[in-house]
Amino acid sequence: MRKEEKKFQTETKELLNLMIHSIYTHKEIFLRELISNSSDALDKLKFNSLTNNNLMSKDEKLEIKVSIDEKNKNIIIEDNGIGMTYEEVEENIGTIAKSGSKEFRNSIKDNEKKSEVDIIGQFGVGFYSAFMIADKIILETKSSMAEKGVRWTSSGDGSYEIEEIEKKDRGTKIILLIRDKKEDLEFLEENKLKSLIKKYSDYVRYSILIGEEIVNSTKPIWKIPKSELTTEKYNEFYKTTFHDWEDPIYHSHIQVQGNLEYTALLYIPSKTPYDFYTKDFKKGLQLYSKNVFIMDKCEELIPEYFSFVKGLVDCDTLSLNISREILQKNTELQAIAKHLEKKIINELEKMIKNDRENYIKIWESFGRNIKFGIQDMFGMNKEKLQNLLIFISSKEDKYITLKEYVENMKEDQNEIYYITGESVEILKGHPKVKNLLNKGIEVFYLIDKIDEFSMKTLGLYEEKKFKSINDSDFNLEETEETKEKVKEIEKENETLLSKIVDILGGKIKEVKINSTLGESAVTISAKGEISLEMEKTLGEIPGNEAVKAEKVLELNPEHPIFKKLQSSNDEEIKKLVEILYTQGMIIEGFPIVNPIEFVNKVNSFIK
């Protein structure tokens, strides 16, 4: 029979170390984690047995047994679920999920910033949580696919032992050797375990037995009338079922009757999952029919832009032994998905109205996904989603919706103004923003690189165009009179302006006079299709470095520097213009190409 001694991968070792020395005050959740693994294993068995009659006998009871061996200081959790083969034990129990390991390493690196609870929680380290109370764990399991059983033993100290054993029954047994510490030994009490099962695992759908007694209610939570449930109960169910350590920020229980009959539970996590914006993330809702678990991530139930929503759907009229392929084309499922999508949009819109604070949290974790949804498929879904957008606006420095912006607009304002940049702090100081604020005109601060693309996709909102105040043709003061005045100044300074274009060569397309810059001597705006922000964003994509906005240097004719330009010799003009250009680029959030040269030039004037 095979027997091996193996080392944990480095990340697992570090994680275990963290667990063992954890000061996490909720050690008790180890039981929830192990029971939820057992429940998953029973789900898998039941589902597979729909298509394979040999897996279990018809009258076999699927259940989870929890027992205490006081003499040996053991807690034992046992299920007759799907079990694991030798290879599966190695793969599942010896390692952190592959996609997680790199993230984990980074997370450990900036450990100072994160509490260990955050780290532990983020990686959903279910099974390992038992090391918080046990100094040794023995796992014995037998898969229905294997002749022999497997025993896995570890003290969580860097290595584990794995061997083949004789095991009669299918399923998994986990023996925890409780650490000889007062606070840990307290778990060896039957009443304590009972209360933990009630608290965390009441709605597990399989019986959880202590001795002969079934401790949990076994009824699926979604079949219980809403009036009998509390937020706390919904949250516990969420954490158990979706392996999250934190309460969700939102839940909704949907019970639909009529032509289409189904029940759904929807949740929004309170934190962005570590892999959310990666390829590894899989969206989907759990699917049940008549209480039987059919699949974990049914993608068809949730659109891409709401992929952060977790939950489940139970539809009794779905056939049980339906294949995945057929499921995809199932019209009932499509109708449910449509229904759910509407529901989510409604609920989020309601939240924007009545619970802005929590919506902002959701927005800050998942808003990007909604913005991608606006842009995706050439804006096919933009109408549905546009009222979910919020951006920080200049008037009160807080998030507002497009609708609120339009409602606040001055009578003669025809466009929705925005400016793009690195951060709200920086944009607040932008001369054009200040100028507009003085006039009581609001500007959206777009600080996520993809924001402007959303505006471009939307095109219009309530018939109002979106306008970047950084476009070269943006000028609010454009009355006939000011236009004339600017033209006059441009004419008077024709030679100077054309010298400036020459000096800056290909860097700018043109120079113009702007008399609305207030205290600022200069800004840079963009002409044509490519905005300044797009140049920055696209420039980061390899192969796109040559994509440049057509830049316009705008000079403030009232500024002392402009006066100085008028009275300088060619050599001084050249230096000043180069300084002004760099300043303009800095204001727009571009990096300085040659900082030393820039500083030297500035210093030569200070001298």
Judged by the rule CB under 6 A, the positions of this chain that interact with ligand ADP are: 33, 37-38, 41, 79, 81-84, 92-93, 124, 126-127, 172, 243
Beta-strand runs (E) in 155-199: 159-165, 171-178
Q: How far is the CB of 249 from ligand ADP (least distance, A)?
A: 21
- Could you identify the residue written with the tokens 């390899």? 542
Are residues 184 and 140 in contact, defined by beta-carbon separation less than 8 angstroms?
no
Q: How far is the CB of 58 from ligand ADP (least distance, A)?
A: 22
Measured torsion, CA atoms of residues 256, 257, 263, 266, in degrees rounded to the nearest 10: 0
Which C-beta is closer to ligand ADP: that of 38 or that of 307? 38
Are residues 34 and 127 in contact, defined by beta-carbon separation less than 8 angstroms?
yes
Q: How far is the CB of 8 from ligand ADP (least distance, A)?
A: 13
* DSSP structure class, residue 509: S
Q: How far is the CB of 413 from ligand ADP (least distance, A)?
A: 52
Are residues 581 and 602 in contact, defined by beta-carbon separation less than 8 angstroms?
no
Which C-beta is closer to ligand ADP: that of 150 or that of 503? 150
Closest CA to 50 of 323, 325, 300, 328: 323
Are residues 348 and 340 in contact, defined by beta-carbon separation less than 8 angstroms?
no
Which of 337-343's residues contact partners 24+ apart within 8 Å by CB, and which partners? 337/300, 337/301, 337/302, 337/303, 339/256, 339/260, 340/254, 340/264, 340/266, 340/285, 340/301, 340/302, 340/313, 341/302, 341/303, 341/306, 343/252, 343/254, 343/266
Chain length of the chain: 607
Strands 398-401 and 390-393: antiparallel
Are residues 30 and 132 in contact, defined by beta-carbon separation less than 8 angstroms?
yes
Q: How far is the CB of 13 from ligand ADP (least distance, A)?
A: 15
Which C-beta is closer to ligand ADP: that of 142 or that of 432? 142
Which C-beta is closer to ligand ADP: that of 38 or that of 154? 38
Q: How far is the CB of 100 from ligand ADP (least distance, A)?
A: 10
Query: Which position's Cβ is nearest ligand ADP?
Result: 126
Beta-strand runs (E) in 80-155: 134-142, 149-154
**How many CB atoms lie under 10 A from the CB of residue 33?**
21
Q: How far is the CB of 275 from ligand ADP (least distance, A)?
A: 13
Which C-beta is closer to ligand ADP: that of 33 or that of 314? 33
> Maximum Cα–Cα distance for the chain, whole Å?
100
Question: Please, how many CA atoms are within 13 Å of residue 525, restricted to the half-sphere of its CB?
Answer: 24
Q: How far is the CB of 174 from ligand ADP (least distance, A)?
A: 7
Which C-beta is closer to ligand ADP: that of 12 or that of 475? 12
Secondary structure element (H or E) that encloses residue 512, with its range: strand 510-513
Q: How far is the CB of 449 from ligand ADP (least distance, A)?
A: 33
Which C-beta is closer to ligand ADP: that of 93 or that of 436? 93
Beta-strand runs (E) in 257-328: 262-268, 285-289, 292-298, 310-314
Which C-beta is closer to ligand ADP: that of 77 or that of 177? 77
Which C-beta is closer to ligand ADP: that of 45 or that of 362? 45
Which C-beta is closer to ligand ADP: that of 95 or that of 515? 95
Q: How far is the CB of 465 from ligand ADP (least distance, A)?
A: 48
Q: What tokens does 199 get?
A: 């608290």
Which C-beta is closer to ligand ADP: that of 97 or that of 602? 97
Q: How far is the CB of 9 from ligand ADP (least distance, A)?
A: 13
Closest CA to 288 of 266, 312, 257: 312
Distances (CA, A) of 340 to 1, 19, 64, 194, 264: 52, 38, 33, 36, 9
Q: How far is the CB of 530 from ligand ADP (least distance, A)?
A: 45
Q: How far is the CB of 159 from ligand ADP (least distance, A)?
A: 17
Which C-beta is closer to ligand ADP: that of 311 or that of 584? 311
Are residues 522 and 553 in contact, defined by beta-carbon separation less than 8 angstroms?
yes
Closest CA to 298 of 318, 279, 276, 271: 318
Cα–Cα–Cα angle for 40, 44, 46, rounded to 5 degrees = 115
Q: How far is the CB of 37 from ligand ADP (least distance, A)?
A: 3
Q: What tokens does 412 get?
A: 């003669």
Q: How far is the CB of 426 from ligand ADP (least distance, A)?
A: 41
Which C-beta is closer to ligand ADP: that of 79 or that of 314? 79
Calpha distance 256→231 (Å, rounded): 20
What is the separation of C-alpha 123 from the centre of its chain, rounded to a whole number of angstroms?
14
Which C-beta is closer to ligand ADP: that of 127 or that of 590? 127
Which C-beta is closer to ligand ADP: that of 172 or that of 523? 172
Sheet holding 250-256, edge to edge: 250-256, 262-268, 310-314, 285-289, 292-298
Strand partners, 521: none
Are residues 267 and 251 in contact, defined by beta-carbon separation less than 8 angstroms?
yes
What is the separation of C-alpha 259 from the centre of its chain, rounded to a whole number of angstroms?
35
